[in-house]
Amino acid sequence: MSVVVSNVSKWYGSQKALDEVSFQIGKGEVLAFLGPNGAGKSTMMKIITTFIAPTSGSVKVCDFDIIGASLEVRKRVGYLPEHNPLYVDMYVREYLQFIAGLHRIKNSEGRVKEMIALTGLEPEQHKKIGALSRGYRQRVGLAQAIIHDPEVLILDEPTSGLDPNQLIEIRALIRQLGKEKTVMLSTHIMQEVEAICDKVIIIKQGKIVANEKASGLRSQQSAALVRVEFREPVQSVLLQQINGVLNVADQGANRWVLTSREGEDIRQAIFQFAVEHQLTVLTISREERDMEQVFRELTQNKD
Ligand code: ADP
Ligand code: MG
C-alpha cells in the first residue's frame, strides 16, 4: 500500500473537517477524491503531505508515519496544492532549479530540463511564472511536484479553473504520470473520475460516503437506489455483503442508501438480511438513477 489512512479526524477549533476517515491507496493506483466544496478534501491532502497534523488517527505513506517520519514521507510525496502558490516573479527554469535545490537533487540542471520536457513546458520555459496562462502554471505545479521522483502524487483540484483545451491536456498529463505513480487527486467534477481514475472515494461533510472502483461506476450507466431505514443500528460492512449491493451510503439515524445495478431489485435480499440479523425495516423504497444523480444524492445535504 502506498497510502494507509486510519480513523483520521480533524477539528479546526470547534469545526469538524474530517470524521473518522479510513481508506487505502494501492501502489500505482489512481484515486479520485470526489466531494462538494467544504467536504474535507484539501484537509485530508494537507494531512497526507505532512502540512497539518490530524487531531486523531494515523496515516502512513510508503510505510512511513506522517508524524514520526515526516521527512521520509516528504521525500516520497509530490504535492500540488489547491491554489498552486508559485513565485510569480521567478522564471520557470529558475523556479524549478530552486525546488530541485530544496530537494538536494544531484545533476539538478539535467533533471529540470527533463521535467520541462515531460510537462510540455518547453515553449514557455524562459518566461516568468506570472506571465503564464493557468494551464501552463499547472504544468509548472506538476513539474515541481514530481521533480524529486516521488512514489505518491497528491493533486488538489488540479484541473480547476482550466479552459476546455487546457483541461484535456492536463488530464492527459496526469494519466501519463499515473502509469508510474500512485496518484490521489481531488475534484468536485464527476466526469474527472471517468477520464482519469481507477478508484473513487466520495466524501461529504468529512465522512466517506462511497468507496469503489471507477470501473464499477463506468460499467453502470445507471443504477438503482434503495433507501432503507432500520429501527436498529447496523454496520455498513454487513450491508455491503448483501447480494447485489454495489455501494452503501450512511445517511445517519439508521437510514441508508444502497446502490445496485440498474434493473436489479435488492429489496427482497434486504428483507432477508433484516430477518437474519434481527433488524426491523421501518421504510424501504427503490428508484433508478444515473451515476451523476447518484453522486449528487450521496453528497447533497439532506437536512
Ligand atoms: P474541500 O477541500 O473539500 O473544499 P476543506 O478541507 O478545505 O474542504 O474544508 C473542510 C472544512 O473545514 C470546511 O468546512 C472548511 O470551512 C473548514 N476549514 C478548512 N480549513 C480551515 C481552517 N484553516 N480553519 C477553520 N476551518 C477550516
Ligand atoms: Mg479544497
Tell me what pLDDT residue 301 has. 57
39 within ligand 1 shell (Cβ under 6 A): yes
- Compute the distance from residue 152 Cα to the ligand 2 centre, in Å: 19
Which of 11, 14, 15 is the best mutation target for the ligand 1 pocket, counting ligand atoms within 8 Å of the beta carbon and taking the most?
Answer: 15
pLDDT score recorded for residue 218? 53
Whether 40 is in the pocket of ligand 1, judged by its Cβ within 6 Å, is yes
Q: Which atom of ligand 1 is nearest to the CA of 16?
A: 12
Q: Are 54 and 10 in contact (CB under 8 A)?
A: yes
Entry pTM = 0.78
The CA distance from 229 to 231, in Å, is: 7
- Strand duo 281-290 + 199-204: pairing: unpaired
To the question of domain 222-299 being in CATH 3.30.70.100, the answer is yes
Q: Is 54 in the pocket of ligand 1 (CB under 6 A)?
A: no
Which residues, other chains included, contact 259 with Cβ-Cβ below 8 Å and sequence gap of 6+? 210, 223, 224, 225, 226, 245, 246, 247, 248, 249, 294
Low-confidence ranges of the chain (pLDDT < 70): 214-222, 289-294, 297-298, 300-303
For residue 222, the CA-to-ligand 1 centroid distance in Å is 32
Q: At what angle do helices 108-118 and 134-146 cross, to 10 degrees?
A: 140
Mutate which of 9, 42, 84, 203 for ligand 1? The one with the most ligand atoms within 8 Å of its CB, which is 42
**Residue extents of the structural domains in the chain:** 3-218, 222-299
pLDDT for the residue numbered 259: 86
Q: What stretch of H or E contains 260? A: strand 255-261
Question: What pLDDT is recorded for position 217?
Answer: 58
CA of 59 to the centre of ligand 1 (A): 19
Q: Which of 141, 140, 151, 10 is nearest to 73 (CA)?
A: 151
| Centroid of ligand 1 to alpha carbon of 43 (angstroms) | 6
Write the pLDDT tens digit of every residue in 173-184.
Answer: 899 889 999 999
Domain 3-218: what homologous superfamily? P-loop containing nucleotide triphosphate hydrolases (3.40.50.300)
Q: How far is the CA of 33 from the centre of ligand 1 (A)?
A: 15
pLDDT at 189: 80
Q: What is the pLDDT of residue 214?
A: 66
* pLDDT for the residue numbered 303: 46
How many degrees, rounded to 5, is the angle at CA 38 between CA 34 and CA 40? 60
Give residue for cell 483540484: 157
